[in-house]
Structure 1
Amino acid sequence: MSRHQRSRRATPRSRRLAVPPLRFFLPLTVLVTLLALLVLRGMANNEVFHDERIAVSVDKGTVPPSVLQGGPIVDARGARNDKPVSYTIPDKTVVLSFDDGPSAKWTPKILKVLADEHVHADFFVTGSMATRNPSTIRRIVAGGHEIGLHTFTHPDLALQSSTRLSWELGETQLALAGVAGIHTSLFRPPYSSTADALDDWSWPVTKEVGSDGYLVAFINKDTDDWKRPGVNAIVKAAMPELPGQGEMVLMHDAGGNRSQTLAALPLIIEKLKAEGYTFKTIGEALGTGSANTRVTGYDLWAGKAFLWCTTFSVRLMPWLVALLAFVGTAVFLRFALMLVLSVVHVRRTRKRGFSWGEPVTEPVTVIVPAYNEQECIANTLLSLARSDHPIEVIVVDDGSTDDTASIVEELDLPMVRLICQPNSGKPAALNTGVAAASYDLIVMMDGDTVFEPSTVRELVQPFADPRIGAVAGNAKVGNRDTLIGAWQHIEYVMGFNLDRRMYDVLSCMPTIPGAVGGFRRTALDQVGGMSDETLAEDTDVTMALHRDGWKIVYAEKARAWTEAPGNLRQLWSQRYRWSYGTMQAMWKHRHAVLERGAAGHFGRVGLPFVAVFMVLTPLLAPAIDIAMIYGVVFVDPYKTLGAWFGVMGAQAVLAWWSFHLDGEKPWHLITLPLQQVVYRVLMYMVLLQSWITALTGGRLRWQKLRRTGEVGLDVTMGEMPS
């Protein structure tokens, strides 16, 4: 066994660092919070848990006759649960009750009529309406009226579980506490009417809410005002059956156009007053005092917190929806732009007779920065030895602690020079290589990358144009046989190389990939070489070249095969560094937005593209998945899934096209739907952590990925389409 083979030993398990839980906990907390805000907004708008089913039963065997034949108010509280008591409204007394509110439009107008007539009434409110109209609730309380519960989302509780019932009442009490600092002991079931309409389905609900301490209020007279039968019909329906008989009248202050209710109300009051009736609340009619009690302490603050969160969600969501709509529109426009401009790029670069100028045949210096690359460095150098273009190779060993330098020496390749230096970082290693280079054209590659024989030749041909300062090559994933490798293969072909065709046509290439990039030495010298001010030295130097007036293009045939991270932990580390470094480079070159010429073009075209599609869109993309979950569960699953699959379909078309352009077999695309979801969440987490690092002024040090050396020379045998 050779020393080269012996050196490929596994990293001891004890030296592997555990993934900090915070990197997962914080982003997932934000996603869960976003989902909770969506649910709160849905509750406030009666979208979540909405159920319009109505129970139908004719059996009344379980309902006590005393209840069926009694008054509209049923007391099944505490000890009376087994022997409920019903109360009638005293003679010559009317309780006006309004359901389904409050409404911001109609309830204040009804309150004005009641105030003008010096009449108090009962308002059975839903929690969703209360959270949307808090000031109206406070006006009801301030006017001396009584408030009762009418559930939160207005379902027929006969069809709901006990848990749902408790939730409907509890959340509405929270809303009342937060809005007006009160709780109430009054309850009216949705879709209820007179007490003699109770049946074997609805009676258990009355008993259960009674056991929770609620007085259940039914009615004597239903005006059917919600049907809008006409003002006279509403007034007529409100009149007592027998002269002098007390009654509880049902009307509505929300749920639709209540102009007829508003017009009928003063007529009802005047007519009944003329007959000697007085108007009271339920508490006043029964002589028990108000059913509304003030809350303090925990109940009050819990209610205020609930109201604040609900209000925040209602106000936030339109902005978030608008932002997501903008991002969605931008993404589809980008899809269209990538398709169109990729066609433009292909027609321009593949047309018969195309060339950058006279063939570039001059020798090239290839710089390979290496830090602990013992698993890969042999394959990298052997691939360069097969190059069909004259090259010298400079391997800069940046303080490796493994056998990287020894392997380079053992290979003893004539075109390879080894320079060893103390560990100083990749930018310093690259600058060392540039300083030692013999030639003006320089190719930079990673120590885990394998070149095809034609890669260097194809990469330097654009330098026939003296305006070109750098060239981006075609980086491809070599270890694509695993699920994670296949996902990254899709990302490289679809997300990187198709992007580069678009950026080439727009003249705003943001990054020369570290795996395969060509530079004119003069251009590098003018921008000060590779900078260590950011963790994305390749993005940093590319932006600097744009600002210095150099043109940067994409060479699709200059293919390099790189070893992508083999697990999610390493993928996280790599993308965290990329994301944070990209943010650093954008901030460093932000002034390009205000500059003129090529620098200004990049600043006003390239930087916004990077900001929107490499930072903002991935950060917001998981919100689209959260919205999809919300839509499937609470809104319309068919339309939601249809829209989601529509987006997936558009991405699939774009992915197939990108694979076609790169001459790749499309069978890896079967993992595209899962890749899109996993990558969205992963990139969201990475970007959120990067933002936190940036905003807190944290420093992210270089993170070395563990390599396996599985990308060998055999991966370079593929053919690029003509």
Structure 2
Amino acid sequence: MPEDVPPGLTPFVFSDPLGKRWPRLRILLLITGVLVFLGTVLFVETLFIAPRMTAPFSLRQLKGQLKSLQTQNPAGQRSAPNSLLWQKFEATKQAAKKLAAPAAVTGSPTATPARARRQVSENEVRLAFYTNGDPYSYSSLEQHASQITHVCPEWMSMVNGVGDLQIDADARVLKLSQNKGIALMPLLTNLVGDTWQPEAVENVAHGPPERQEKFIANVLVVLRNAKAAGVVVDWEQLDPTYKKDFTDLLGKFANALHRDGRQLWLIVSPGQEIDYIDFDELSPYIDRFVAMLFDETSDVDASGPLASRMWFEGWLHVLMEDSDPGQWIIALGSYGYDWVIGGKKAELISFPEAMSRASSAEIESAEVSAPGYNAYFYYEDNDVEHAVWFLDVVTFLNELREVRKQKAGGIALYRLGTEDSAIWDALSTPSDFKFAPSTRSLLEVLHGTDTIADVGDGEIVTVDESRADGMRSLTVDKDGYLNATYTKFPEFPTLYHQGAGDAHEVALTFDDGPDPEWTPKILDILKAAKVKAAFFLVGVNAERYPNLVRRIVDEGHEIGNHTYYHPNLALCWPEHVRLELNATQLLIQTLTGRGTTLFRPPYAADTQPARLADLMPLQIAQDQNYLVVLENIDPQDWARPGADVILQRIKQQRHDGNIILLHDAGGDRSQTVEALPRIIEYLQARNDTIVPLSKLLNTTRDALMPLLPGGQTMSHYISSTGFRVVHAVEEFLWAFMIVATALVLVRTLIVIYLAYRFRSSPPADFAEPVSVVIAAYNEGKVIDATLQSLLKTDYQGELEVVVIDDGSRDDTAVEVEKVAATDGRVRLIRQQNRGKARALQRGVAAARNELIVFIDADTHCQRQTLPRLLAPFIDPNIGGVSGHAKVGNLRSFIARCQSLEYTVGFNLDRRAYTRWNCITVLPGAISAVRKQAIDRAGGLSLDTLAEDTDLTLSLHKQRLPTVYVPGAVAWTEAPETVRALSRQRFRWAYGTLQCLWKHRDMVFNWKYRALGWFSLPSIWFFQIILVAITPAVDLFLILSLPFGAWRDLLPFVIVFLATDVILATLACILEHENVLHAWRIIPMRLIYRPMLSYCVWKAILRGVKGAWVSWGKLERTASVPVRA
């Protein structure tokens, strides 16, 4: 036999006399284990080997499509459209002076009392414009906060003519400005989306005073909440006809701000836009005028300089002429425009993006020199000619010198995030441009930083992470202006964009599916509209719903890889990213017979990754020949804002790009389904054509989703088999979780209902003779206290106490003899060590009375324990009674947890089970049985380790009812260490398993009613099966943490814990214990679950092996206090 069995041992449940079961099973397990291990290794190996895929070469080599284009500088050939407006403005200004009568000067532009502008500091103002939603803008602000005095974030827009505001506050800017001591000057515009709304200002300016007051009050509320120093007003495209109304409104606005201790700054955009400004009338009230001296050539003009020297200096002089220079802030630009020659509108680009395009196109050089002192270059992208003009630190320094010559009140940078970073090193350079060597190095070396540049149009990208420094040489020309020659352009991490398609081509994409509820509905809508879309699949969902994946492909849609578990890839190791991609790719190939070259990263589906960490997964995907599909139109349908809002957001963003992001899984997508037909109708109404991604890329569906070669390779066979096994295991675990959760809830409700309906029998005048049987083995520390507590009972009937010393090696017998010498009710019987069951057998045989009480040697009874325990026997039909065992030694956390377990798991259940006569165990710690009932049940069995459970089930077979008496309290000693507890629970688990197997004929047997259909199945499921499978579920939960699947598991975990807490709370209430103790159930589960799983599996293994298990011995501490 696997283990030596003591001579003369009675055959026991699970015994294997021939010892053949375990060797045979061991061989089978070994063979199965080896096969599973080899299969797992091969399957995992396939996951780490990237499947072969090939995207069209032209779609992957975007960098090579950029070429230098040699074009002469047009700056000397033509003037920008707005280059001479400053001269016209100066002429108009001079004419107005001659016509103005000296006495015509008025002191107030409004009917309200005049209030002069506030005195401002003479220190140079350094204002920076901040763009909401641009991560580079915030990064620049955070990095250079100490070098600016004011920040102007996009904050408020006038959205109608009644004074209402659209607020777009950035909490990060608010917090940073307060922490760094930067004055916050929010921007107030009449820009809604990309459209200026002049009526929003005109209707307020020309409207009744109440409307103006409402508008001013709304602004003040925003400024007060933000603790702002004031507001910067930027109103454009206003009708000069209303100049007097605008002047009055601004005067009233200024007075209100000044009374509130805040300032009013007014943006002046050179050109026709300033005709509405009456400088003479407003100068006493406006704290600062902010002149935007850039955009000489706007984005809708033909390409040209952005701030040529003559244009800049002309406007600078004419604006500040006859003005207080300190009242003027001069905004200097640092950005660029990329024009498509012959196109309608230029793209605003940052300085790093201009450098990246020049480097990618292998531009040899560019210059900042006379006459314009603006840099430019030309390049060709896929045979399309481009012109790039940009403003750098060299232009900035030339302009800064002129501004300081005019003694302006300060400068402003437009804008944070697009600037040449050398500007921050140039703010304190000398006006003669005689740089110190260290400063010159800072200005001439162009560092290739982590800033990510974008090249091209479209939302399908490839990545180039290369970085390299560039160089420009600085000189001063004969006119004293700073010149520069770019000899090597720096390289920045770059996203190359493609797939812009035609202006009226748009693609629909759906993420996170498939989902059995929403994906079919979306497919039905697309089919009815004869529209094709792209579905980016999450592997775990594709694995669960393979038929939906096949339907998507069969109906002509495109599919893409959206990772397996939808993690945030920026937080993942590279190996994890590859595993996510490979697993999903293999699954798609297995299900559809096609691969896919399309990939969209979870949580990063935006067109502007801001960190290198965001590029890492894109680069890995690109290395595996994926095309990364981003998006510019995101209505955020996942947030469930409503179908109307989803549609409205798409309308607002339609001009931003050609790819729309929606979701067909990941939650309730009813709003997406509701909005989709309306989205399609809207797009078709504006003459858009909904096309697949392949059309945007000017390729075919088969090129993006290549068919696999004929025949299944060994790799695909292994992966397909592995996925089927994984799917089966995962489906089993999910099904198990669902069933287990449902059963837990049902059982909880039943137990609560029955426990509340439990009623104790009234005390009865019962005094029949009784024998207390105690089996003792090495109980010298505790036996005296146990006997003394028994002998002090209030029970009025005849009492005898029979103690069987089962071969103790300590002074147990001596202690019993001492008590017996003083009280004749105590008898001692000694025998060789033969086990607890045989000791109890002998005690029952020696008992003189019909009623037998079983008590453990460490159990302390109270005076009323025996009277209450025996009272139910007044009914002659009662076969056995369970007492109320409680933990008496509460010194350790482990013991206190067991106390709660006794309260919840044992005593609460017995309350409930009594109602349906389905108690499964009369505990050996405190119970009573008729001797005649023991005989009818076949006596105390020796073939299980749990003789009390075995006896109880045998009583049920004899139709002998059992009841529970909560008032019959006995205090027992519980293990105080995890090791001792583990040994005890292993014995309990093994004994319980023996009894369940022995009495398996009772399960689902109508003959035993609630016992066969409720309490015994509960033990099988909740104490054996559930506990045994718990490690797999826990492992499933742990492995899901880095993959995001924990969100699906979390509800089940919460339900389990919630039911535990509810039952514990109810049990504490019924036991009149502190309900706060119920919360111990949560940490208790963390300790008990793995330990109980270990004990159950150890018991199962011993049972399979047919191994004999001894009762063992808990080391006593005698720590149960004496209670009356």
Q: TM-score range by the shorter chain?
A: 0.5 to 0.7
1:526 aligns with 2:933: no
Q: 1:451 to 1:78 in 2, by over 3 A?
A: closer
| Residue 434 (structure 1) shift | 1.8
| Structure 1 residues 151 and 292, CA gap change in structure 2 (3 angstroms) | farther
Q: How far 1:75 sits from its partner (Å)?
A: 4.4
Structure 1: which 5+ residue stretches go unaligned? 1-52, 240-246, 718-722
The residue number in structure 1 matching 2:808 is 400
1:530 to partner: Cα distance: 0.4
Correspondence 1:339 to 2:765: no
Cα offset, 1:701, TM superposition: 1.1
In structure 1, what is the Cα distance between the partners aligned to 2:954 and 2:869? 20
| Structure 1 position 178 matched with structure 2 position 594 | no
Query: In 2 relative to 1, CA 550–447 (structure 1 residues): closer, same or farther, beyond 3 Å?
Result: same
Q: Secondary structure at the match of 2:1123?
A: helix
| Structure 2 stretches lacking a partner, 5+ long | 1-131, 138-348, 361-452, 468-490, 638-642, 666-671
Cα distance in 1 between the residues matched to 2:544 and 2:1002: 46
Larger RCO (CA under 8 A, 6+ residues apart): 1
Assess, with a 3 A threshold, how the Cα gap between structure 1 residues 69 and 686 changes in structure 2: closer, same or farther.
closer
- Provide, for residues 91-143 of structure 1, a one-character-per-residue CA deviation record: whole Å limited to 9, x for no partner: 999998653356553787799899x99xx997655546544554565677789
Q: Which residue of 2 aligns with 1:70?
A: 456
Residue 306 to residue 272, structure 1, CA distance change in 2 (3 Å) = closer
TM-score (ref. length: structure 1): 0.68
Offset of 1:512 from its aligned partner? 1.7
Question: Hey, which of these two has a bigger chunk of helix by percent?
Answer: 1
Residues 335 and 621 (structure 1 numbering): CA distance in 2 closer, same or farther, change over 3 Å? farther
Alpha-carbon distance in 1 for matches of 2:935, 2:631:
92
Which structure has the greater CA radius of gyration?
A: 2
Q: Equivalents in 1 of 2:704, 2:1048: separation in Å? A: 45
Aligned to 1:657: 1069
- SS for the counterpart of 2:520 is coil
CA distance in 1, matches of 2:1019, 2:535: 55
Contact 2:463–2:495 under 8 Å retained in 1: yes
Any residues of structure 2 matched to 1:187-226 within 5 Å, and which?
187-188=599-600, 199=608, 201=610, 205=614, 209-210=618-619, 212-213=622-623, 214=625, 216=627
Closer, same or farther: CA 152–520 of 1 in aligned 2, 3 Å: closer
Between the aligned partners of 1:83 and 1:555, the Cα distance in structure 2 is 77
Looking at structure 1, the residues matched to 786 and 507 of structure 2 have their Cα atoms a distance apart, in angstroms, of: 83
Shift of 1:331: 0.9
Q: How does 1:266-305 map to 2 (within 5 A)?
A: 282=697, 284=699, 301=718, 305=722
Deviation, 1:90, is 12
Alignment of structure 1 residues 347-366 onto 2, 5 Å: 348-349=761-762, 354-355=763-764, 359-362=766-769, 364-366=770-772
Tell me by how many angstroms 1:420 deviates: 2.8
Q: Which amino acid aligns with 1:657?
A: I
| Shift, 1:541, TM fit | 1.0
Question: What is the rounded CA distance, in whole Å, between the counterparts of 1:56 and 1:428 in structure 2?
Answer: 79
Distance of 1:665 and 1:94 partners within structure 2: 70
Of 65-74 and 387-396, the range deviating more from structure 2 = 65-74
Q: Secondary structure at the match of 1:201?
A: coil
User: Does the CA contact (< 8 Å) of 1:444 and 1:516 recur in 2?
Assistant: yes
* Aligned-partner residue type, residue 428 of structure 1: R
Q: 1:206 to 1:670 in 2, by over 3 A?
A: closer
Q: How does 1:246-257 map to 2 (within 5 A)?
A: 256-257=672-673
Per-residue CA distance 1:440-485 (angstroms, 9 max, x = gap): 2222222222334554444334333322232222323221232222
Contact 1:469 1:552 in 2 (8 A): yes
Q: 1:325 aligns with which of 735, 739, 742?
A: 742
Measure how far apart 1:514 and its partner are: 0.8
Between the aligned partners of 1:502 and 1:85, the Cα distance in structure 2 is 67
Identify the residue that residue 390 of structure 2 maps to in structure 1: none
Q: CA deviation at 1:537?
A: 0.7
- Measure the CA separation in 1 of the matches of 2:663 and 2:973: 67
Partner residue in 2 for 1:476: 886
Deviation at 1:621, TM superposition (A): 8.4
CA contact (8 A) 1:96 1:279 kept: no
* C-alpha deviation, 1:531, in angstroms: 0.4
Letter matched to residue 372 of structure 1? N
Contact 2:884/2:907 (<8 A) preserved: yes
Matches within 5 A, 1:523-672: 523-592=933-1002, 602-604=1011-1013, 606-608=1015-1017, 610-611=1019-1020, 635=1047, 647=1059, 650-651=1062-1063, 653-660=1065-1072, 671=1080
Contact 2:771/2:847, CA 8 A, preserved across alignment: yes
Deviation of 1:373 after TM superposition, in Å, equals 2.1
* Preserved CA contact (<8 Å) 1:121 1:279: no
Partner of 2:829: helix, strand, or coil? strand
Residue by residue over 1:236-281, the C-alpha shift from the partner in whole angstroms, topping out at 9 and shown as x without a partner, is x999xxxxxxx987797957445578899999999999xxxx9869
1:335 maps to a residue whose letter is I
- Deviations along 1:295-319, whole A, 9 cap, x unmatched? 9777985686467535753575255
Q: How does 1:677-696 map to 2 (within 5 A)?
A: 678-679=1087-1088, 682-687=1091-1096, 689-691=1098-1100, 693-694=1102-1103, 696=1104
For residue 371 of structure 1, what is the aligned residue in structure 2?
Answer: 777
The amino acid that maps onto 1:405 is A
Where 1:448 maps in the other structure, the secondary structure is coil
* 2: CA distance, partners of 1:272 / 1:428: 84
Indicate how the Cα distance of structure 1 residues 411 and 54 shifts in structure 2: closer, same or farther if over 3 A, else same: farther
Structure 1 residue 690, shift from structure 2 partner: 4.1
Output the TM-score relative to the length of structure 2.
0.46
SS in 1 for 2:1071: helix
Instruction: Classify 1:132/1:172 alpha carbon distance in 2 versus 1 (closer, same or farther; 3 Å).
Output: farther
Query: Identical aligned pairs, as a percentage?
Result: 29
Between the aligned partners of 1:146 and 1:606, the Cα distance in structure 2 is: 53
Q: How far off its partner does 1:710 sit? A: 1.2
- 1:76/1:207 contact within 8 Å kept: no
**RMSD value, Cα:** 5.6
Rounded Cα–Cα distance in structure 2 between residues aligned with 1:514 and 1:95: 80
Question: Aligned partners of 1:95, 1:304: CA distance in 2, in Å?
Answer: 41
| Displacement after TM superposition at 1:206 (Å) | 5.5
